Amino acid sequence: MTRVTFPSSSPRRIRQSNAVATLNALHRFGPLSRAELARHMGVNRSSAGNIVLELVEAGLVREVPENEAANSAAQPRAGRPGILVELVPDAVFFVGIEIGVEHITCVEIDLAGKIVRSSTRRFEGRNSGPEEAVRTAIDQAFSEIGKDDLTRCQGLGITVPGQMDRNGFIHVAPILGWRNLDLPALTRTFLPAEVPVSAENDANAFGIGTTYSQHEAANGVTFFMVIETGVGGGIVIDGKLFRGGNGLAGEVGHLKTRNSEYRNLEQAFGRDRILSSYRQFDPDADLDAFLSDVRDRVPEAVQFAEEWSSLLAFAVVQISRLIDPNRIVLGGSVAELYPLVAARVDAHIRDLQAATFPIPEIIFDENAAYGSAFGAACMMHQRFVSLDNQLLNKDAVSDPGNSVA
Protein backbone atom coordinates (compact mmCIF):
# COMPACT_ATOMS: atom_id res chain seq x y z
CA MET A 1 0.00 0.00 0.00
CA THR A 2 1.28 3.45 -0.96
CA ARG A 3 0.26 5.32 2.16
CA VAL A 4 0.34 9.08 2.13
CA THR A 5 2.71 10.69 4.60
CA PHE A 6 2.48 14.28 5.72
CA PRO A 7 5.95 15.79 6.10
CA SER A 8 4.54 19.01 7.53
CA SER A 9 1.21 20.46 8.62
CA SER A 10 1.12 22.96 5.71
CA PRO A 11 -2.02 22.38 3.60
CA ARG A 12 0.04 23.11 0.50
CA ARG A 13 2.59 20.47 1.49
CA ILE A 14 -0.15 17.97 2.26
CA ARG A 15 -1.72 18.53 -1.17
CA GLN A 16 1.66 18.09 -2.79
CA SER A 17 2.26 14.87 -0.85
CA ASN A 18 -1.16 13.57 -1.89
CA ALA A 19 -0.50 14.40 -5.54
CA VAL A 20 2.85 12.61 -5.41
CA ALA A 21 1.28 9.51 -3.87
CA THR A 22 -1.46 9.51 -6.53
CA LEU A 23 0.98 9.72 -9.43
CA ASN A 24 3.14 6.98 -7.93
CA ALA A 25 0.17 4.68 -7.43
CA LEU A 26 -1.02 5.17 -11.02
CA HIS A 27 2.49 4.64 -12.35
CA ARG A 28 2.95 1.48 -10.35
CA PHE A 29 -0.49 -0.12 -10.71
CA GLY A 30 -1.90 1.43 -13.88
CA PRO A 31 -5.49 2.68 -14.21
CA LEU A 32 -7.43 2.55 -10.92
CA SER A 33 -10.91 3.36 -9.74
CA ARG A 34 -11.26 6.07 -7.11
CA ALA A 35 -11.97 3.40 -4.52
CA GLU A 36 -8.87 1.41 -5.51
CA LEU A 37 -6.79 4.57 -5.52
CA ALA A 38 -8.02 5.52 -2.06
CA ARG A 39 -7.19 2.02 -0.80
CA HIS A 40 -3.64 2.11 -2.21
CA MET A 41 -3.04 5.54 -0.71
CA GLY A 42 -4.67 4.88 2.63
CA VAL A 43 -7.12 7.81 2.40
CA ASN A 44 -10.90 7.98 2.14
CA ARG A 45 -12.62 8.03 -1.24
CA SER A 46 -13.63 11.68 -0.92
CA SER A 47 -10.01 12.74 -0.36
CA ALA A 48 -8.89 10.64 -3.31
CA GLY A 49 -11.53 12.32 -5.45
CA ASN A 50 -10.28 15.79 -4.55
CA ILE A 51 -6.72 14.82 -5.39
CA VAL A 52 -7.80 13.39 -8.73
CA LEU A 53 -9.74 16.54 -9.55
CA GLU A 54 -6.65 18.73 -9.04
CA LEU A 55 -4.49 16.43 -11.17
CA VAL A 56 -7.13 16.29 -13.91
CA GLU A 57 -7.17 20.10 -13.97
CA ALA A 58 -3.37 20.02 -14.20
CA GLY A 59 -3.60 17.71 -17.23
CA LEU A 60 -1.57 14.96 -15.57
CA VAL A 61 -4.34 12.38 -15.11
CA ARG A 62 -7.67 11.71 -16.79
CA GLU A 63 -10.85 9.78 -16.17
CA VAL A 64 -11.81 7.12 -18.71
CA PRO A 65 -14.44 4.37 -18.96
CA GLU A 66 -13.08 1.08 -17.72
CA ASN A 67 -13.25 -0.50 -21.17
CA GLU A 68 -11.15 2.32 -22.66
CA ALA A 69 -8.40 2.51 -20.03
CA ALA A 70 -4.89 1.72 -21.21
CA ASN A 71 -3.24 -1.37 -19.65
CA SER A 72 -6.07 -1.85 -17.19
CA ALA A 73 -5.88 -5.02 -15.11
CA ALA A 74 -9.47 -4.61 -13.92
CA GLN A 75 -11.78 -7.55 -14.57
CA PRO A 76 -14.59 -6.79 -17.05
CA ARG A 77 -17.95 -6.48 -15.35
CA ALA A 78 -21.51 -6.73 -16.62
CA GLY A 79 -23.48 -3.54 -17.05
CA ARG A 80 -22.29 0.01 -17.43
CA PRO A 81 -18.47 0.37 -17.42
CA GLY A 82 -16.99 2.02 -14.34
CA ILE A 83 -14.77 5.09 -14.44
CA LEU A 84 -11.07 4.66 -13.94
CA VAL A 85 -8.30 7.18 -13.39
CA GLU A 86 -5.08 6.91 -15.41
CA LEU A 87 -1.99 8.94 -16.18
CA VAL A 88 -1.94 11.12 -19.29
CA PRO A 89 1.24 9.70 -20.85
CA ASP A 90 2.05 12.64 -23.12
CA ALA A 91 1.38 15.31 -20.49
CA VAL A 92 5.13 15.57 -19.86
CA PHE A 93 8.26 13.75 -20.98
CA PHE A 94 11.78 13.06 -19.76
CA VAL A 95 15.02 12.66 -21.69
CA GLY A 96 17.90 10.31 -20.89
CA ILE A 97 21.33 10.44 -22.50
CA GLU A 98 24.24 8.00 -22.33
CA ILE A 99 27.58 9.27 -23.58
CA GLY A 100 29.68 6.18 -24.14
CA VAL A 101 33.13 5.60 -25.51
CA GLU A 102 31.88 4.59 -28.96
CA HIS A 103 28.28 5.74 -29.04
CA ILE A 104 25.67 8.18 -27.78
CA THR A 105 22.26 6.80 -26.87
CA CYS A 106 19.22 8.97 -26.24
CA VAL A 107 15.84 7.95 -24.86
CA GLU A 108 12.59 9.83 -24.31
CA ILE A 109 10.04 8.41 -21.87
CA ASP A 110 6.53 9.61 -21.09
CA LEU A 111 4.73 10.10 -17.79
CA ALA A 112 3.83 6.40 -17.78
CA GLY A 113 7.56 5.59 -17.89
CA LYS A 114 7.39 4.10 -21.39
CA ILE A 115 9.99 4.70 -24.10
CA VAL A 116 8.44 6.78 -26.89
CA ARG A 117 11.61 7.64 -28.82
CA SER A 118 15.18 6.35 -28.86
CA SER A 119 18.32 6.57 -30.95
CA THR A 120 21.88 5.31 -30.89
CA ARG A 121 24.65 6.80 -32.99
CA ARG A 122 28.34 6.11 -33.23
CA PHE A 123 30.52 8.66 -31.47
CA GLU A 124 34.23 8.59 -30.73
CA GLY A 125 34.16 9.66 -27.11
CA ARG A 126 37.86 9.23 -26.54
CA ASN A 127 38.64 11.68 -29.33
CA SER A 128 36.17 14.33 -28.18
CA GLY A 129 36.22 16.88 -25.39
CA PRO A 130 33.31 17.15 -22.96
CA GLU A 131 31.87 20.25 -24.65
CA GLU A 132 31.71 18.55 -28.05
CA ALA A 133 30.31 15.35 -26.56
CA VAL A 134 27.55 17.07 -24.58
CA ARG A 135 26.62 19.41 -27.45
CA THR A 136 26.37 16.46 -29.85
CA ALA A 137 24.29 14.48 -27.36
CA ILE A 138 21.87 17.35 -26.77
CA ASP A 139 21.46 17.90 -30.51
CA GLN A 140 20.72 14.21 -30.98
CA ALA A 141 18.27 14.05 -28.08
CA PHE A 142 16.22 17.07 -29.14
CA SER A 143 16.48 16.77 -32.93
CA GLU A 144 12.94 15.40 -33.23
CA ILE A 145 11.36 17.45 -30.47
CA GLY A 146 9.54 20.54 -31.71
CA LYS A 147 9.99 23.93 -30.08
CA ASP A 148 6.39 23.95 -28.90
CA ASP A 149 6.90 20.60 -27.17
CA LEU A 150 9.85 21.76 -25.07
CA THR A 151 7.52 23.07 -22.37
CA ARG A 152 6.50 19.47 -21.68
CA CYS A 153 10.08 18.38 -20.98
CA GLN A 154 10.38 18.00 -17.21
CA GLY A 155 13.89 16.66 -16.88
CA LEU A 156 17.06 15.47 -18.56
CA GLY A 157 19.38 12.84 -17.12
CA ILE A 158 22.83 12.25 -18.53
CA THR A 159 25.30 9.43 -17.86
CA VAL A 160 28.97 8.76 -18.59
CA PRO A 161 31.40 6.00 -17.57
CA GLY A 162 33.12 7.95 -14.84
CA GLN A 163 33.61 8.49 -11.13
CA MET A 164 31.29 11.23 -9.92
CA ASP A 165 29.62 12.42 -6.74
CA ARG A 166 25.89 12.50 -6.09
CA ASN A 167 25.71 16.01 -7.59
CA GLY A 168 27.07 14.84 -10.93
CA PHE A 169 30.53 16.35 -10.55
CA ILE A 170 32.98 14.11 -12.42
CA HIS A 171 36.23 13.55 -10.57
CA VAL A 172 37.60 11.41 -13.36
CA ALA A 173 36.24 9.58 -16.41
CA PRO A 174 39.46 7.81 -17.38
CA ILE A 175 38.29 6.17 -20.60
CA LEU A 176 36.92 9.46 -21.93
CA GLY A 177 39.83 11.44 -20.52
CA TRP A 178 37.63 13.88 -18.55
CA ARG A 179 38.54 15.30 -15.16
CA ASN A 180 37.06 17.73 -12.64
CA LEU A 181 33.93 18.51 -14.61
CA ASP A 182 30.54 19.82 -13.43
CA LEU A 183 28.53 17.76 -15.92
CA PRO A 184 25.04 19.12 -15.04
CA ALA A 185 26.26 22.72 -15.37
CA LEU A 186 27.89 22.00 -18.73
CA THR A 187 24.74 20.25 -19.94
CA ARG A 188 22.54 23.24 -19.08
CA THR A 189 24.62 25.52 -21.30
CA PHE A 190 23.55 23.55 -24.40
CA LEU A 191 19.90 22.86 -23.57
CA PRO A 192 17.27 24.51 -25.79
CA ALA A 193 15.03 25.12 -22.76
CA GLU A 194 15.33 25.42 -18.99
CA VAL A 195 14.71 21.98 -17.53
CA PRO A 196 15.97 20.10 -14.46
CA VAL A 197 19.24 18.23 -15.10
CA SER A 198 20.87 15.35 -13.26
CA ALA A 199 24.00 13.31 -13.99
CA GLU A 200 24.91 9.78 -12.96
CA ASN A 201 27.48 7.06 -13.52
CA ASP A 202 26.37 4.80 -16.39
CA ALA A 203 26.31 1.58 -14.35
CA ASN A 204 24.32 3.20 -11.56
CA ALA A 205 21.84 4.51 -14.13
CA PHE A 206 21.55 1.04 -15.64
CA GLY A 207 20.65 -0.31 -12.20
CA ILE A 208 18.15 2.50 -11.59
CA GLY A 209 16.40 1.91 -14.91
CA THR A 210 16.17 -1.85 -14.54
CA THR A 211 14.84 -1.54 -11.00
CA TYR A 212 12.49 1.34 -11.79
CA SER A 213 10.75 -0.56 -14.57
CA GLN A 214 9.81 -3.39 -12.21
CA HIS A 215 6.44 -3.19 -10.48
CA GLU A 216 7.91 -4.89 -7.45
CA ALA A 217 11.48 -4.01 -6.51
CA ALA A 218 13.63 -7.10 -6.10
CA ASN A 219 14.42 -7.83 -2.47
CA GLY A 220 17.97 -8.25 -1.34
CA VAL A 221 21.14 -7.13 -3.10
CA THR A 222 21.49 -6.81 -6.88
CA PHE A 223 24.77 -6.00 -8.57
CA PHE A 224 24.50 -4.43 -12.02
CA MET A 225 27.51 -4.80 -14.29
CA VAL A 226 27.85 -2.87 -17.56
CA ILE A 227 30.48 -4.34 -19.87
CA GLU A 228 31.47 -2.09 -22.75
CA THR A 229 34.93 -0.65 -23.43
CA GLY A 230 35.06 -0.23 -19.67
CA VAL A 231 33.47 -2.33 -16.96
CA GLY A 232 31.26 -0.52 -14.47
CA GLY A 233 29.08 -1.63 -11.62
CA GLY A 234 26.17 -0.43 -9.55
CA ILE A 235 24.64 -1.83 -6.36
CA VAL A 236 20.92 -1.77 -5.57
CA ILE A 237 19.76 -2.91 -2.13
CA ASP A 238 16.04 -3.60 -1.69
CA GLY A 239 15.28 -1.38 -4.68
CA LYS A 240 17.51 1.54 -3.62
CA LEU A 241 20.83 2.54 -5.15
CA PHE A 242 23.82 2.19 -2.83
CA ARG A 243 26.49 4.75 -3.70
CA GLY A 244 29.09 4.12 -1.01
CA GLY A 245 30.91 6.73 1.01
CA ASN A 246 32.26 8.64 -2.01
CA GLY A 247 29.90 7.57 -4.76
CA LEU A 248 32.29 4.87 -5.99
CA ALA A 249 30.55 1.69 -4.83
CA GLY A 250 30.53 -1.00 -7.49
CA GLU A 251 33.65 0.02 -9.44
CA VAL A 252 34.37 -3.60 -10.23
CA GLY A 253 36.37 -2.78 -13.35
CA HIS A 254 39.26 -1.69 -11.16
CA LEU A 255 39.57 -5.00 -9.33
CA LYS A 256 42.91 -6.70 -9.85
CA THR A 257 43.10 -9.86 -11.93
CA ARG A 258 45.06 -13.04 -11.41
CA ASN A 259 46.89 -12.38 -14.65
CA SER A 260 49.75 -9.91 -14.26
CA GLU A 261 49.44 -9.03 -17.95
CA TYR A 262 46.43 -6.84 -17.15
CA ARG A 263 46.26 -4.14 -14.53
CA ASN A 264 42.56 -4.70 -13.79
CA LEU A 265 39.41 -6.50 -14.94
CA GLU A 266 38.40 -3.65 -17.23
CA GLN A 267 41.55 -4.14 -19.28
CA ALA A 268 41.19 -7.91 -19.15
CA PHE A 269 37.67 -8.49 -20.47
CA GLY A 270 36.30 -5.21 -21.80
CA ARG A 271 35.53 -4.57 -25.47
CA ASP A 272 39.02 -3.29 -26.37
CA ARG A 273 40.71 -6.38 -24.97
CA ILE A 274 38.41 -8.76 -26.87
CA LEU A 275 38.79 -7.01 -30.22
CA SER A 276 42.53 -6.32 -29.99
CA SER A 277 43.13 -9.99 -29.25
CA TYR A 278 40.70 -11.40 -31.79
CA ARG A 279 41.91 -9.12 -34.57
CA GLN A 280 45.19 -10.97 -34.46
CA PHE A 281 43.18 -13.79 -36.00
CA ASP A 282 40.65 -11.72 -38.00
CA PRO A 283 41.98 -8.17 -38.64
CA ASP A 284 38.57 -6.83 -39.74
CA ALA A 285 36.51 -8.31 -36.93
CA ASP A 286 34.12 -6.18 -34.93
CA LEU A 287 32.18 -7.30 -31.85
CA ASP A 288 29.23 -8.63 -33.88
CA ALA A 289 31.59 -10.72 -36.00
CA PHE A 290 33.30 -12.11 -32.91
CA LEU A 291 29.97 -13.05 -31.32
CA SER A 292 28.87 -14.68 -34.56
CA ASP A 293 32.08 -16.72 -34.68
CA VAL A 294 31.51 -17.88 -31.09
CA ARG A 295 28.02 -19.05 -32.07
CA ASP A 296 29.49 -20.85 -35.06
CA ARG A 297 32.12 -22.51 -32.83
CA VAL A 298 35.09 -21.05 -34.71
CA PRO A 299 38.01 -22.45 -32.66
CA GLU A 300 39.86 -19.16 -32.21
CA ALA A 301 36.68 -17.39 -31.12
CA VAL A 302 35.83 -20.18 -28.71
CA GLN A 303 39.31 -19.93 -27.21
CA PHE A 304 38.92 -16.21 -26.53
CA ALA A 305 35.40 -16.77 -25.20
CA GLU A 306 36.73 -19.36 -22.77
CA GLU A 307 39.32 -16.91 -21.44
CA TRP A 308 36.61 -14.27 -21.09
CA SER A 309 34.45 -16.76 -19.19
CA SER A 310 37.16 -17.43 -16.64
CA LEU A 311 37.74 -13.71 -16.09
CA LEU A 312 34.02 -13.01 -15.64
CA ALA A 313 33.84 -15.91 -13.19
CA PHE A 314 36.76 -14.43 -11.25
CA ALA A 315 34.91 -11.07 -11.11
CA VAL A 316 31.70 -12.75 -9.93
CA VAL A 317 33.55 -14.53 -7.13
CA GLN A 318 35.25 -11.34 -5.95
CA ILE A 319 31.93 -9.44 -6.04
CA SER A 320 30.27 -12.27 -4.13
CA ARG A 321 32.84 -12.18 -1.37
CA LEU A 322 32.67 -8.40 -1.07
CA ILE A 323 28.91 -7.71 -1.11
CA ASP A 324 27.20 -11.14 -1.21
CA PRO A 325 24.64 -10.25 -3.93
CA ASN A 326 21.50 -12.30 -4.53
CA ARG A 327 21.80 -11.67 -8.25
CA ILE A 328 24.13 -10.10 -10.80
CA VAL A 329 22.54 -8.42 -13.83
CA LEU A 330 24.73 -8.00 -16.90
CA GLY A 331 24.26 -5.29 -19.51
CA GLY A 332 26.24 -3.65 -22.29
CA SER A 333 27.27 -4.86 -25.74
CA VAL A 334 30.01 -7.22 -24.51
CA ALA A 335 27.59 -8.88 -22.08
CA GLU A 336 25.87 -10.42 -25.11
CA LEU A 337 28.65 -12.98 -24.95
CA TYR A 338 27.44 -14.32 -21.61
CA PRO A 339 24.45 -16.41 -22.82
CA LEU A 340 26.81 -18.19 -25.21
CA VAL A 341 29.22 -19.20 -22.44
CA ALA A 342 26.98 -19.29 -19.36
CA ALA A 343 27.74 -22.94 -18.63
CA ARG A 344 31.48 -22.30 -18.74
CA VAL A 345 31.16 -19.27 -16.46
CA ASP A 346 29.23 -21.39 -13.98
CA ALA A 347 31.87 -24.11 -14.09
CA HIS A 348 34.67 -21.61 -13.46
CA ILE A 349 32.75 -20.04 -10.57
CA ARG A 350 32.29 -23.42 -8.92
CA ASP A 351 36.01 -24.12 -9.25
CA LEU A 352 36.88 -20.77 -7.63
CA GLN A 353 34.14 -20.38 -5.03
CA ALA A 354 34.16 -22.23 -1.72
CA ALA A 355 31.39 -24.82 -1.62
CA THR A 356 29.96 -23.21 1.53
CA PHE A 357 29.63 -19.79 -0.13
CA PRO A 358 26.42 -19.04 -2.08
CA ILE A 359 26.59 -18.36 -5.81
CA PRO A 360 24.44 -15.47 -7.03
CA GLU A 361 22.00 -15.79 -9.91
CA ILE A 362 23.47 -14.27 -13.08
CA ILE A 363 21.02 -12.60 -15.46
CA PHE A 364 21.69 -11.12 -18.88
CA ASP A 365 19.36 -8.17 -19.48
CA GLU A 366 18.25 -8.59 -23.09
CA ASN A 367 16.55 -5.19 -22.97
CA ALA A 368 19.68 -3.36 -21.88
CA ALA A 369 20.42 -1.70 -25.23
CA TYR A 370 19.10 1.57 -23.84
CA GLY A 371 19.82 0.65 -20.22
CA SER A 372 21.87 3.62 -19.01
CA ALA A 373 20.00 6.22 -21.08
CA PHE A 374 16.68 4.76 -19.95
CA GLY A 375 17.87 4.83 -16.34
CA ALA A 376 18.88 8.48 -16.71
CA ALA A 377 15.39 9.33 -17.93
CA CYS A 378 13.88 7.29 -15.08
CA MET A 379 15.85 9.37 -12.57
CA MET A 380 14.05 12.47 -13.80
CA HIS A 381 10.69 10.71 -13.87
CA GLN A 382 11.30 9.65 -10.28
CA ARG A 383 12.11 13.23 -9.35
CA PHE A 384 8.91 14.46 -11.01
CA VAL A 385 6.74 12.12 -8.95
CA SER A 386 8.41 13.11 -5.69
CA LEU A 387 8.22 15.97 -3.20
CA ASP A 388 11.19 17.56 -4.97
CA ASN A 389 8.84 18.59 -7.76
CA GLN A 390 7.41 22.02 -7.01
CA LEU A 391 5.12 21.68 -10.01
CA LEU A 392 2.86 19.59 -7.80
CA ASN A 393 2.55 22.51 -5.41
CA LYS A 394 -1.01 23.86 -5.43
CA ASP A 395 0.09 27.22 -6.79
CA ALA A 396 1.98 25.65 -9.68
CA VAL A 397 -0.16 22.67 -10.56
CA SER A 398 -2.46 24.41 -13.05
CA ASP A 399 -0.31 23.79 -16.14
CA PRO A 400 2.65 21.39 -16.37
CA GLY A 401 4.07 23.39 -19.25
CA ASN A 402 4.45 26.63 -17.35
CA SER A 403 6.72 25.63 -14.51
CA VAL A 404 10.13 24.05 -14.11
CA ALA A 405 10.64 21.61 -11.27
pTM > 0.95: no
The 8-class DSSP code of residue 76 comes to P
How long, in residues, is the chain? 405
- State the pLDDT at residue 79: 47
CA distance 253 to 257: 10
Q: Residue 383 — pLDDT band, cuts 50, 70, 90?
A: very high
377 contacts 157 by C-beta, under 8 angstroms: yes
pLDDT, tens digit, 9 for 90 and up, residues 154-201: 999 999 998 999 899 999 998 899 999 999 999 999 999 999 999 999
Secondary structure (3-state) at 122: strand
- State the pLDDT at residue 245: 84
Residue 394: other Cβ atoms inside 10 A: 14
Buried b (16+ CB within 10 A) or exposed e, 363-377: ebbeebbbbbbbbbb
Q: How far is CA 391 from CA 2, 3, 93, 109, 163, in A?
A: 21, 21, 14, 18, 31
Q: What is the DSSP string of 328-394?
A: EEEESGGGGGHHHHHHHHHHHHHHHS-TTS---EEEE-TTGGGHHHHHHHHHHHHHHTSTT-GGGST
Region 276-303: mean pLDDT is 93
Q: Which of 261, 287, 58 is nearest to 152 (CA)?
A: 58
pLDDT, tens digit, 9 for 90 and up, residues 105-158: 999 999 999 999 999 999 988 888 999 999 999 999 999 898 889 999 999 999
CA distance 207 to 212: 8
CA distance 234 to 329: 10
Q: Residue 7 — pLDDT band, cuts 50, 70, 90?
A: very low
58 contacts 399 by C-beta, under 8 angstroms: yes
236 contacts 211 by C-beta, under 8 angstroms: yes
pLDDT value at 369 more than 90 = no
